[in-house]
Amino acid sequence: MSNVHTFQMNERVGETRLDRDVQGVIGKGIDRFEGPLKVSGRATYAYEHKLPGRVAYGFIVTSGVGSAKIVGIDPMRALSKAGVLDVVIDDRAVRAAADAGDPQPARVGGEITHFGQPICLVVAETFEAARDAAKLVDVTSEARAGLYDLQSEQANAYDPGDGIMPSVIEKGDFDKAFAASEVTLDATYTTPSQSHSAMEPHASIASWEGEKLTLYGSYQLIQVNVGQLAKALGVDKANVEIVSPYIGGGFGGKLGIGPEAVYAAIAAKTLGRPVKVALTRAQVYQTTSRRSDTIQRIRIGASREGVIEAIAHDTITANTKEDAFFEPAGISTVFLYGGANRQVTHKKADVNVLLSSAMRAPGEAVGMLALENAMDELAEQLGIGPIALRKLNEPEVDPQEGLPFSSRMLIECMDEGAARFGWSDAPVKPGAKREGEWLIGHGMSTASRKNMLMKSSARVTLSAEGTAHVETDMTDIGTGTYTILQQIAAEMLGLPAEKVTVELGHSTLPPSAGSGGSWGASSAGSSVYVACEGIIEKIAESLGVSPSDLTLKDGTAIGGNKQTAFADILKGEPIVVTGTFKPGKAYKETHQASYGAHFCEVRVNAVTGETRVKRLLTVAAAGRILNEKTATSQCYGGQIFGIGSALMEELIIDPRTGLMVNHDLAEYHVPVNADVPQLEVVLLPERDTAASPLASKGIGELAISGVGAAITNAIYDATGVRVRDYPMTLDKVLAGWATKGKAS
Ligand code: MOS
């Protein structure tokens, strides 16, 4: 028997089986069951799938100029090399979608719009032959003037229209209220271009059987990716299958189909052989996508007591002319603090630089670097503590729309963090603490991340042997999806976790929300929950009891005054239910976000200006925690990302040529072990019953939001140098001392 069960979240959920926790599996920090496969090299990543037939290898030729018109592509020298099979010149792959939006194949045709843009693919018997011949493709082009610098283009920035949030959100009369405020802050913050820098480079293997394409790749959103690839190739979606069981990090960089997939598919079709295409590390940097640099002006007007009356966050970000996406940098300012008069705006400047797109916590990650830095500046100006200022401006309801918060534990996060960290909320007095040549500083910031939910489906099979199998095309990008879905099914069905297997990452499985926007765990997890509810109904029916009178534990059903083994209920026949979760009215009628607080201690060298992060504590409240260990691990990742954004991460684009200068992990600095102190993460118990049947909210992106501001606020406390231009490299500390005089 196969059944379909659908649940739309129109109101808050009451007590659930997860609350009763009879099996004792949900929330526990159990190990990822696929972990041993990953650490022993047995998990098969995109480039590693073994296919029958002789595989050919492709190498992408990319543009070495930033803005030009292609006049000619001569493949003859490349084709004459031994082992070279083909040079694919096909505009369909020039610019496949790098984002989750509409596919954008080939619409640039002949125009080079950024450095690193794909031009053609050389296919050969070996990777080395393809790479070698790629240097022999003769590309001639006419140079065009290019726009490579957001700072110089900001005067030409324009309202791009609504994107993943409205470009303009206003309430009251900001200008008037700001002008009338007793205390005002007006500061502009800048953040640089950033790269996702996932460990696994983008790679694809394409293989055709007649009209049917199978693509092995590394993707976050399989259903979307199938549609993008089909559209790029001009084939029917039904003929495209994507396999992506393991993903070596995504962070937004694998939300969309990349050029390597489209090229591999075209080449494989032409040659009648499977074709593998991997990007080099430099190509991952130059050819996929980035996070835009930002210019963010924050203005806050407050009473002398510290009550905000006016708040504005005006942002300018960059993208290519053809791409509408803008970094929603003002998103947290919409709901984080009170104030009757509000303005959040987003403008976009067109540049000839690699597509800018979503990267971990698009919006909050860079927006809160500005907002939370500004709040620290305002607290100092008012002479009150940073937490005191935030408490004074804690809104009762969402300050923009007036919607009730689904749940909000911002103050609890700050209080818990302050107590654990030993935070003194005295007004900021920079430069007061010193040990030898190290200046010591403490800083805090809040964290917030809008909660998102998506429709998602999963099939759960309960077998007569007392095992369960979960199937969905959901992905695990390193977040722990495999394990939390296992835990949800185990808790719901009353099975030990090891009796539940989970299969993900294949487009033939029920369509899921995929991994993006921190919606994955709640959305896909809820679909598993819904499927299990369907199974429980069937069990209840066969026992003649109501589902609410049924307790499931250790492979037995307890109800109607007896305990029955699943084997005796199922009698050899599995129960199969496909569950679908849909967000509903509960999502629209409440304002949903996760919250947190970060506390940091830094030491800044009084001679060199070098910053070392000494302690970092994050307290987060994101609804029910589905797995203590994987959620904590997500937060560690966010904290480390935050250290990078505060101190080192920065893509350098040559303003003369558009060249992305630091296109590898040696030159694009991310925190390494020596940069990361002992991290501390505390997850507060919370149930958000309006968010999902699991009462969980997103956490992966919450954890990065605000971290960098806590660090730079601590740098200010240590040195008296205020960071408004991220990242805070030591030269900026030294320059600050040079102009203002050293704090101590
Ligand atoms: Mo996320 S930046 O939507 O992977």
Q: What is the DSSP string of 523-583?
A: HHHHHHHHHHHHHHHHHHHHHTS-GGG-EEETTEEEETTEEEEHHHHHTT--EEEEEEEEE
> Does some domain include residue 156?
no
Asked whether 98 lines ligand 1 (CB < 6 A), one says: no
Q: How far is the CA of 208 from the centre of ligand 1 (A)?
A: 30
Q: Look at residue 635 and give its three-state secondary structure.
A: helix
Residue type at 707? V
| 196 C-beta closer than 6 A to ligand 1 | no
**Whole-number Cα distances in Å, 579 to 452, 507, 555:** 19, 17, 21
Quick check: CB of 256 below 6 Å from ligand 1? Answer: no
CA 340 / ligand 1 centre spacing (Å): 31
- Pair 423, 558 in one domain: no
For residue 362, give the ligand 1 atom closest to its CA. Answer: 2
513 and 631, same structural domain? no
Residue 198 Cβ < 6 Å to ligand 1: no
Distance 191 CA to ligand 1 centre (A): 18
List Cβ neighbours of 455 (8 Å cut-off, separation of 6 or more).
Answer: 513, 523, 580, 581, 582, 583
Question: What atom in ligand 1 is closest to the CA of residue 220?
Answer: 4
Pairing type for strands 500-503 and 551-553 reads unpaired
Phi/psi for 246 (5° steps) reads -130, 140
Which amino acid residue places its CA nearest to atom 4 of ligand 1? 252
Determine the residue of 219, 360, 450 to mutate for testing ligand 1's pocket, defined as the one with the most ligand atoms within 8 A of the Cβ atom. Answer: 360
The last residue of one of the domains, among 254, 278, 302, is: 278
CB 360 near ligand 1, within 6 Å: yes
DSSP classification of residue 505: S
Q: Would the CB of 358 count as within 6 Å of ligand 1?
A: yes
Residue 61 lies in domain:
55-144+202-278
Token digits for 709? Answer: 């501001």
547 plus 690 within the same structural domain: no
Say how many Å lie between the CA of residue 255 and the centre of ligand 1.
Answer: 7
Q: pTM to 2 decimals? A: 0.96
> With a 6 A CB cut-off, is 449 part of the ligand 1 pocket?
no
- What does the pLDDT look like over 651-674, one tens digit per residue? 999 999 999 999 999 999 999 999
The predicted pLDDT at position 648 comes to 97
**Would residue 525 count as lying in a domain?**
yes
DSSP reduced 3-state for 241:
strand
Q: Would you state the pLDDT for residue 743?
A: 55
List of the chain residues with pLDDT < 50: 1, 96-108, 744
Ligand 1, residue 359: give the atom nearest the CA.
2
The reply to whether ligand 1 has any atom less than 6 angstroms from the CB of 27 is: no
Same domain? 447 vs 457:
no
Regarding the beta carbon of 359 and ligand 1, being less than 6 Å apart is answered: yes
In a domain, 167, yes or no: no
701 is catalytic: yes
Is the C-beta atom of 646 inside 6 A of ligand 1? Answer: no
What is the CATH classification number for the domain harbouring 547? 3.30.365.10
**477 close to ligand 1 (CB < 6 Angstrom):** no
Q: Which two tokens stand for residue 270?
A: 């032409």
Cα(604) to ligand 1 centroid in Å equals 33
Centre of ligand 1 from the C-alpha of residue 250, in Å:
8
447 and 465 inside one domain? no
Ligand 1 atom nearest residue 477's Cα: 4
Ligand 1 mean position, distance from CA 66 (Å): 27
Give yes or no for residue 647 CB within 6 A of ligand 1: no
Q: Which atom of ligand 1 is nearest to the CA of 250?
A: 4
567/483 same-domain check: yes
The answer on 600 and 584 residing in a single domain is no
Q: Is the CB of 255 under 6 A from ligand 1?
A: yes
Which of 542, 564, 588 finishes a domain? 588
Same domain? For 531 and 662 the reply is no
Residue in this structure with the two tokens 């002008």, named with its chain if needed: 179
Nearest to 484 by CA among 454, 529, 449: 529
What is the Cα 441 distance to its own chain's centre?
Answer: 30
Count structural domains, the chain: 3
Of 219, 290, 481, 701, best ligand 1 pocket probe by most atoms within 8 Å of the beta carbon:
701
| Same domain, residue pair 256 and 140 | yes
**Helix residue ranges per DSSP H, 302-363:** 331-335
Domain annotation covers residue 163: no
446 and 464 co-located in one domain: no
Whether residue 17 is contained in a domain is answered as yes
Q: Is 366 in a helix, a strand, or coil?
A: helix
Ligand 1 centroid to residue 704 C-alpha, Å: 12
Catalytic residue among 260, 309, 650, 701: 701
Whole-angstrom Cα Rg for the chain: 27
- pLDDT in the model for residue 103: 34
Residue 100 CA to ligand 1 centre (angstroms): 9
Pairing of strands 308-319, 556-559: unpaired
Q: Is residue 42 part of a domain?
A: no
Q: Based on the domain organization, do 320 and 419 belong to the same domain?
A: yes
Residue 181 placed within a domain:
no
Ligand 1 mean position, distance from CA 517 (Å):
5
Specify the pLDDT at position 99.
Answer: 41
Candidates 218, 219, 255, 451: which one to mutate for ligand 1, based on the most atoms within 8 Å of Cβ? Answer: 255
The answer, yes or no, to whether any atom of ligand 1 lies below 6 A from the CB of 516, is yes
CB 710 within 8 A of CB 443: yes
Indicate the pairing of strand 2-9 with strand 575-583: parallel
Within 8 A by CB and 6+ apart from 483, the residues are: 30, 31, 32, 33, 34, 502, 627, 630
Kindly give the distance from the C-alpha atom of residue 477 to the centroid of ligand 1, in angstroms, as a whole number. Answer: 11
Whether the CB of 362 sits within 6 Å of ligand 1:
yes
| Statement to judge: residues 215 and 271 lie in one domain | yes
559 forms beta bridges with 562
* The domain boundary residue, chosen from 548, 567, 588: 588
pLDDT at residue 232 in the model: 87
Establish if 36 belongs to a structural domain: no
Among candidate residues 547, 566, 550, the one with its CA nearest the CA of residue 558: 550
Residue 110: per-residue pLDDT: 76
